[in-house]
Structure 1
């Protein structure tokens, strides 16, 4: 497995991975991923000889982004690195892909921001993701209902 920066030519394949992960991430389509890529401070792809295994996209407060979760952090923290989405292919789960992506974003963010932030779904529950983030030292800083009450998220931070 290797990690590398995402290019525009990767976006159709990453869109397929992203769609397969709904409702744990929002479906944004290729154009949405292109917009997010333009705002990203960190956008890495994990791949092997078979193709993409997963990706992680993160941004800093300067991003032009209106996600309610991003804005929640922006209102409370003057500086942070926000993990907007992490997706790992079903076939690549439990193989260290997520851990490699998280270690890469931690390394990238250390010295750039005092905290790494993200959200994890509480409703619909994503217990595997919650446990994963807790193992990486994240703790809940708050909760928020989104999508007109269809989702509740745990807003999490990890000091760097």
Structure 2
């Protein structure tokens, strides 16, 4: 069910991102292509020949331009940073995010990464569902920061053992 994202998936990935853009940064074909090249993990879940979810993550030390990624780079080593995960609204609460995260955790352990990092919006709108999900998945807050978009984010890590 989970597979590597392909260029042919971009239009559906961009549509999913647009539907949740208030919690994400905007994407276009060019930016997504650059992120794809730099990514450590870029996977989708497909059902009935349609992308219904995706995850995009980067390893430490790559040339990714995100300020939040940069914060983790300044404070940690040997990590994978989850830039975004999006589940089609009609497929939420079915365990797909958990599947994508567990798949990423297994990859990270196999490749000897110590941490998985993520950030979650907490101001101006507190993202309760994401905070609860990350707590359930074993993440803990290690800091906060105000991003360029004037959002405050909770910086989270999960230690892998």
Do these two structures clear the TM 0.5 threshold for a shared fold by scoring above it?
Answer: yes
Q: Is the 8 A contact 1:53 1:97 kept in 2?
A: no
The answer for unaligned runs of 5 or more in structure 2 is none
Match of 2:50 in 1: 51
The answer for unaligned runs of 5 or more in structure 1 is none
Match of 1:85 in 2: 84
Question: How is 1:9-158 mapped onto 2 (pairs within 5 angstroms)?
Answer: 9-49=8-48, 51-111=50-110, 112-123=112-123, 124-148=125-149, 150-158=150-158
Q: TM-score, normalised by structure 2?
A: 0.94
Give distance in 2, aligned partners of 1:6 and 1:50.
13
Structure 1 residues 134-158: Cα deviation after superposition (integer angstroms, max 9, x where no partner) = 000000010000125x200000000
Give distance in 2, aligned partners of 1:30 and 1:90.
22
Query: In the TM superposition, what is the alpha-carbon distance from 1:50 to its structure 2 partner?
Result: 5.2
- Using the TM superposition, name which of 42-51 and 69-78 deviates more: 42-51
Match of 1:3 in 2: 2
Q: Is the 8 A contact 2:18 2:26 kept in 1?
A: yes
Aligned residues, how many? 158
Query: In the TM superposition, what is the alpha-carbon distance from 1:26 to its structure 2 partner?
Result: 0.7
Runs ≥4 residues deviating over 2 A = none
Give distance in 2, aligned partners of 1:25 and 1:50.
25
Q: CA RMSD in A?
A: 1.1
Q: TM-score, normalised by structure 1?
A: 0.95
